[in-house]
Copies of this chain bind each other. A is one copy, B any other.
Amino acid sequence: MLNSNDTICALSTPNGVGAIALIRVSGAKSLAIVSACFSKNLSDKPSHTAHFGYFKGPDGTLIDEVLITVFESGKSFTGEEAAEIACHASPYIQQQIIQTLLSAGCRLAEPGEYTMRAFMNGKLDLSQAEAVADLIASQTKGAHDIALKQLRGGFSNELRDLREKLIHFASLVELELDFAEEDVEFADRNELKQLVADVLAYIKRLATSFELGNAIKNGVPVAIVGAPNTGKSTLLNQLLGEDRAIVSNIAGTTRDVIEETLNIEGILFRLIDTAGIREGAEEIEAMGIERSKEKIQQAQVVLCLADVSKENSLEEVTAWAEEIRATYHDKKIIIVANKVDINHRSPSAVEGPVIFLSAKEGVGIEDLKQQLVELVTGDFNISTDTIVSNARHYDALVRTAHSLEKAQYDLDNNITADFVAMDIRQAMYDLGTITGDISTDDLLGNIFSKFCIGK
């Protein structure tokens, strides 16, 4: 895969039948190879121009009428000389064109090889390359915005700034080592302490944002639990009500149970294990958290439903919520006090958020949605803050923070400069793996092999 001397080709549009398909060719011989199969010579055409003509098979037979766009070396997505062949989207034609290109000297591209070449040629850094895959996979505004921001390099630029500051200080600290006998300090220790503290705080906030980023990328699993006849089914329908149409509007969405996801302000909530609820089959047995254990384990947010028209229901549910909190430390809980249309109770001294609503009358549903979003976003602003959504980046950030904490300890305890330098170098290394300033073949192979062919 790392042999980037080959000229590669692949279908870049989705598989299947349609009006148009695009086959991408990239590499030093792109225009020579494509010209040999085309009714015109493309080698002398200016970059970014499109040419209509006939694509011919190895035996000269006509395969299709196509439009080929040519790209000069340095001006394409990969940074290499490239051509994009727009043909009719028939599987037969696509196959014939690709087979012709292969016999004319192309190699079939590996998954992600176009993006990898763009990275190798400095057109994208590694986190931008990863953003391409996230962008394609994004199903909601939230996921899309994070991926696009990352693709445009905002995140990378921030990291590069931090890394440069660290490099500057590391160099000064290392310079001291050369003059060790003279006991000078080129790097002001207070300034360095402040820098490390600042960078550490920044890195930690980025790492913290991963919980949100991951939730946005993969959806937030939500469980609705409550005793029989507290109105779980009615609440579910209210939540899904208007939103279902929007979700199913997105062509090609392939979730099996599309009606059970909820898109609020661009964040996808996945309402788990709602089959029973949807069918209106409220459990007959007395409700207990034991009964909903599995459901709660899978959830990130638990909606505990109380029926305020009944004596003690809210108190009971508050007790469950306490029990859930005590058992699972990572669950976010919203107590939902339903049926305010029958009996409006004033808020009792319940810990955590309580939403009073009437699922039946649709009152308070917006408050609940707002609460769901706030619970997930915390103090991050999706539109303006940098949100980490990639587990690899999170991992690198945690390791960076760990090295910086060691450097901080060294500085606080006047440990010798060589240890400080080593820890800062390690932090720089870990940070560099995110943007690919530091990379290994294994790492690259691992990242790009997850891409689809043609990207």
User: When the two chains form their complex, are residues A86 and B22 in contact, meaning their CB atoms are under 8 A apart?
Assistant: yes
A328 close to B (CB within 8 Å): no
Q: Give chain B nearest CB distance to A20 CB in angstroms.
A: 4
Q: Which of B16, B19, B49, B90 contacts A114 (CB 8 A)?
A: B19
User: When the two chains form their complex, are residues A139 and B20 in contact, meaning their CB atoms are under 8 A apart?
Assistant: no
A205 close to B (CB within 8 Å): no
Contact A13-B17, Cβ < 8 Å, known A49-B48, A65-B151 = no
Q: Which of B18, B49, B96 contacts A49 (CB 8 A)?
A: B49
Q: Flag the segment in A129-137, A165-173, A350-358, A369-377 that touches B.
A: A129-137
Contacts of A447 in B (CB 8 A): none
A102 close to B (CB within 8 Å): no
Please classify how large the interface on chain A is, using the bins under 10, 10 to 19, 20 to 34, 35 or more: 35 or more
Convert A136-155 into 0s and 1s, putting 1 for each residue whose CB lies closer than 8 angstroms to a CB of B.
Answer: 11111101110010011000
Candidate in A13, A18, A132 with the most chain B CB atoms within 10 angstroms: A18
Q: Give chain B nearest CB distance to A125 CB in angstroms.
A: 15
User: When the two chains form their complex, are residues B14 and A13 in contact, meaning their CB atoms are under 8 A apart?
Assistant: yes
Contact A19-B15, Cβ < 8 Å, known A91-B252, A137-B90 = no
A93 close to B (CB within 8 Å): yes
Q: What CA separation (Å) do A14 and B12 show in the bound complex? A: 11
User: When the two chains form their complex, are residues B64 and A135 in contact, meaning their CB atoms are under 8 A apart?
Assistant: yes
Chain B residue with Cβ nearest A62: B148
Contact A89-B18, Cβ < 8 Å, known A95-B250, A250-B95, A251-B95 = no
User: When the two chains form their complex, are residues B452 and A90 in contact, meaning their CB atoms are under 8 A apart?
Assistant: no
User: When the two chains form their complex, are residues A21 and B17 in contact, meaning their CB atoms are under 8 A apart?
Assistant: no
Q: Which of B13, B90, B143 contacts A21 (CB 8 A)?
A: B13
Q: Give chain B nearest CB distance to A79 CB in angstroms.
A: 13
Contacts of A95 in B (CB 8 A): 249-251
A384 close to B (CB within 8 Å): no
Contacts of A136 in B (CB 8 A): 17-19, 88-90
Contacts of A145 in B (CB 8 A): 61
Q: Which of B15, B20, B62, B91 contacts A22 (CB 8 A)?
A: B20
A94 close to B (CB within 8 Å): yes
Q: Which of B49, B65, B151 contacts A50 (CB 8 A)?
A: B49
Q: Give chain B nearest CB distance to A256 CB in angstroms.
A: 16
A51 close to B (CB within 8 Å): yes
Candidate in A50, A64, A88, A249 with the most chain B CB atoms within 10 angstroms: A88
Across chains A and B, which 5 residue pairs bring their CB atoms closest together, nearest first? A14-B16, A14-B18, A19-B455, A91-B252, A13-B13
Q: 12 other contacts beyond A13-B21, A18-B136, with CB at 8 A cut-off?
A: A15-B18, A17-B452, A20-B24, A22-B86, A49-B50, A64-B135, A89-B136, A90-B136, A90-B144, A91-B251, A92-B140, A95-B251
